[in-house]
Amino acid sequence: MVSEGAKKFLQWRDFFLNVKSYREAYEQFEWPEIDEFNWAIDYFDEYAKNNKNYALIWADEDGEDKKITFEEMSKKSNQVANFLKDIGLEKDDRVLIITEVLPEVHELTLALMKAGGVFIPGATTLPAKDIADRIERGNIKYVIVQDKFMDKVEKVDRGILSRIKRLVSIGDEKREGWINYNDAVKNYSHEFTKTEPTKTTDPCYLFFTSGTTAKPKLVVHTHIYPVGHLTTMYWLNTREGDIHYNISSPGWAKYAWSSIFAPWNAGATIFVLKYAKFDASLALRAMEKYGVTTLCAPLSVLKLLVLEDLGSYNLKLRQVVSAGEPLIPEVLEKVEQGLGVEIREGYGQTETTCLIANFPGEPRKKLSFGKPAPGYHVEILDDNLKPVKPGEDGQICVKVKPKKPLGLLAKYEDEEVNSRVFQGDWYLTGDAAYYDEDGYFFFIGRKDDVFKSLDYRISPFELESEIAEHPAVLEVAVVPTVDDRDRIVPKAFIVLKPDYKPGRGIALDIFKFIRKNIAPYKRPRAIEFLQEFPKTISAKVMRRELRKYEEELIVEAERRECEFRETDFAKELGLGKRS
């Protein structure tokens, strides 16, 4: 029987699948009032009954693949839910999951929702100290990792690991102290019985996301989160029969956005491709082979696609969207010409669902990332939370009163952060933009100094705190630069302690320290030694001046005497070799 919550969800799902225009969608859509709803049980399982369409197509670079129907995915997730309950999972227990792109990610997403657990994704590049931090601050009770990452977990301090109820490994390796997921799950029933109602205020997904502080923030989403992704579904414009490919990894919110909730809200098939390192030709061949019809890819991937002869592939793409980094017109034009498909940009955060976008059928404007999503009242406000005029810079803010959008986070697990970002009637995104007379938004950048690198959100302060642990470093400031492939990457400006002199030797030592202690996705790829930093009267580093200086160097293609790049030490650092 379809629950009342599911009926309301399906009403608006069908509305978005059939709406004729953006204006109609924005003016008519209202977030539904739902008190109880378990998306995995009330929606997915009902949709999956006797459904032989593929829910997931998984493939890898070796040519292996798995095709899983909605009915099979439903039953497998029931087995996983029963397994989790049997090993002691209780309501609201938090589970850290670290794995590459595997079908188990989708099984676990559904299973945890059914069993009442809370999914906390972790990047595969996390070092042991970051895993320890997440276990400690996230109050994590279970750790589930792909077997190749077991060693990382075992390097975590024993005192912290003692808080974990069970360690679970996915893969072939068997090890003492670990439960093997693959061996255990197959022994459980394909039927799952819910024992208590799921409140839409119950926690469902938690994400660690870098901010302006030294420690990543912990974002809390509840069981209403999949309903919030109706805006993401509308942006993607997926349908039943579509095969949707989102180029992302399970450790990040974008994977939940576009590799799970949005396409499955529409009943589309999700395609995922596992590889050791992204290769544009591999991805294009896979898209050709499996008939991918809708694609979501960040700018860093689109830049690699334009290097290929796109016309030589027999692709079936009808929709392409991009998020994570503002699109560059030159890349946009080349990809569109090569694919013969318009690319629509979207914007959101770990804290939201699709917030602003170029929605289907709506005319685009050059450099604009679109208009506010239905259900979101978005304005550009000044520092006094007053609306700015068209063309004036300000902060992107979301109105949360009298009713908070269902796609917005419930809270941060830090009251100080909550008080900073929830002010008056508004949620403050921390991103700067402006809008024009027609209501189109134009992105400027982070209001603070956070920037995107290779689709990952980078906190300069977090990196600076880690680099400052090197014994030779007196002061450090991180800003974005570009590498030799024109990708945005972090660069560290460093002032050394008096006993140290700038040079190749100390640069190599610092790069070794960085590679040992910082996750690859946020590692600075260039450093430059300065005698001193530009500072304010209150002794704060004027990072905007460093950014301006770096931007001038990029334009002039200059390289200073005391600037060193990671690639300068390719042999010493073993670049190109997988650790």
Q: In which region does residue 99 sit, left (phi positive, over 0), alpha (psi from -120 to 50) or beta (all else)? A: beta
Separation in Å, CA 181 to CA 106, 208, 319, 444, 500: 14, 24, 36, 45, 51
Report how far Cα 238 is from the mean position of its chain's Cα atoms: 19
Average pLDDT over residues 109-136: 94
Average pLDDT over residues 536-540: 41
With a cut of 50, say whether residue 226 has pLDDT above it: yes
Average pLDDT over residues 575-579: 58
Burial class (CB within 10 angstroms; exposed 0-12, middle 13-18, buried 19+) of 516: exposed
With a cut of 70, say whether residue 517 has pLDDT above it: yes
Q: What span, in angstroms and rounded, lies between the C-alpha atoms of 4 and 34?
A: 8
pLDDT of amino acid 550: 86
With a cut of 90, say whether residue 461 has pLDDT above it: no
Report the candidate in 443, 310, 447, 464 with the shortest Cα–Cα distance to residue 370: 443
Which of 129-143, 172-186, 460-474 has the least mean pLDDT?
460-474
Question: Quick one: tokens of 290?
Answer: 């499996």
With a cut of 50, say whether residue 579 has pLDDT above it: no
State the virtual CA torsion across 395, 401, 407, 410 in degrees, nearest 10: 100
Q: Which helix (H) or strand (E) holds 43?
A: none
Q: What span, in angstroms and rounded, lies between the C-alpha atoms of 223 and 497?
A: 50
Report how far Cα 140 is from the mean position of its chain's Cα atoms: 20
Tell me the pLDDT of the chain averaged across its residues.
91
Place of tokens 């999956």: 48
Peptide bond preceding 502 in cis form (omega within 30 of 0) = no
Q: What are phi and psi of 448, to 5 degrees?
A: -90, -150
Tell me how long the chain is.
Answer: 579
Q: What span, in angstroms and rounded, lies between the C-alpha atoms of 13 and 17?
A: 6
pLDDT-derived band at 312, boundaries 50, 70, 90: very high
pLDDT of amino acid 578: 47
Q: What span, in angstroms and rounded, lies between the C-alpha atoms of 551 and 545?
A: 10
Q: Which helix (H) or strand (E) holds 256?
A: helix 253-256
Of the chain, the percentage scoring pLDDT greater than 90 comes to 72
Q: What span, in angstroms and rounded, lies between the C-alpha atoms of 218 and 221?
A: 10
pLDDT of amino acid 553: 81
* Whether the model pTM is above 0.75: yes
* Greater model confidence, 477 or 296: 296
pLDDT in tens, 357-409: 999 999 999 889 999 999 999 999 998 999 999 999 889 999 999 999 999 99
Q: Which residue ranges form the domains of the chain, and what is each CATH number?
A: 4-432 (3.40.50.12780), 459-573 (3.30.300.30)
pLDDT of amino acid 211: 44
Q: What span, in angstroms and rounded, lies between the C-alpha atoms of 94 and 116?
A: 9
Q: What span, in angstroms and rounded, lies between the C-alpha atoms of 275 and 258?
A: 18
pLDDT in tens, 231-275: 999 999 999 999 999 999 898 899 999 999 999 999 999 999 999
pLDDT in tens, 43-56: 999 999 999 999 99
Q: What span, in angstroms and rounded, lies between the C-alpha atoms of 336 and 292?
A: 16
Q: What span, in angstroms and rounded, lies between the C-alpha atoms of 446 and 478?
A: 14
Q: Radius of gyration (Cα) for the chain, nearest Å? A: 24
pLDDT of amino acid 210: 56
pLDDT of amino acid 549: 86
Of the chain, the percentage scoring pLDDT greater than 70 comes to 95
- Would you tell me the crossing angle of helices 103-115 and 70-86 to the nearest 10 degrees? 60
Q: What are phi and psi of 516, to 5 degrees?
A: -80, -35
Kindly provide the b/e burial profile for residues 248-263, where b requires at least 16 CB atoms within 10 angstroms of the residue's own CB.
Answer: bbbbbbbbbbbbbbbb
Q: What span, in angstroms and rounded, lies between the C-alpha atoms of 309 and 337?
A: 11
Which of 256-270, 323-337, 359-373, 433-447 has the least mean pLDDT?
323-337
Long-range contacts formed by 536-542: CB under 8 A, 24+ apart: 541/475, 541/477
